Amino acid sequence: MPGKRIQFDEESWAAVDLLARDRMMTFQELAEEAFRDLLRKHNRPVDLKDALRKSAGQSAKVLPFKKRNKAGKKTAKKISRKKRTKRRL
């Protein structure tokens, strides 16, 4: 992970440090939140998932996988057993 040094004036640092203490967060967590908000403000992807959605375009739909119920699996097994018994006869 790349690191960068930044400088604050005394008043700004005191305000940021007080905010971090009030929210029980580290400076790193505050900085990550601030940069995520900045990227969203300028319509930039924050993570890989956002980047892929943006590259797919507005017309792309997210389709959830269909959930199978246990009863459906049992009926499929029963049907295949019936077919096997018919073949043997």
pLDDT in tens, 19-59: 999 999 999 999 999 999 998 899 888 888 878 877 877 66
For the chain, give every domain's residue range: 1-58
Q: Please give the full DSSP string across 1-67, using - where no structure is assigned.
A: ---------HHHHHHHHHHHHHHT--HHHHHHHHHHHHHHHTT---SHHHHHHHHH-TT---PPPPP
Place of tokens 């998932």: 49
**Could you tell me the two tokens for 47?**
């993570």
**Could you tell me the two tokens for 37?**
């908000």
pTM for the predicted model, two decimal places: 0.54
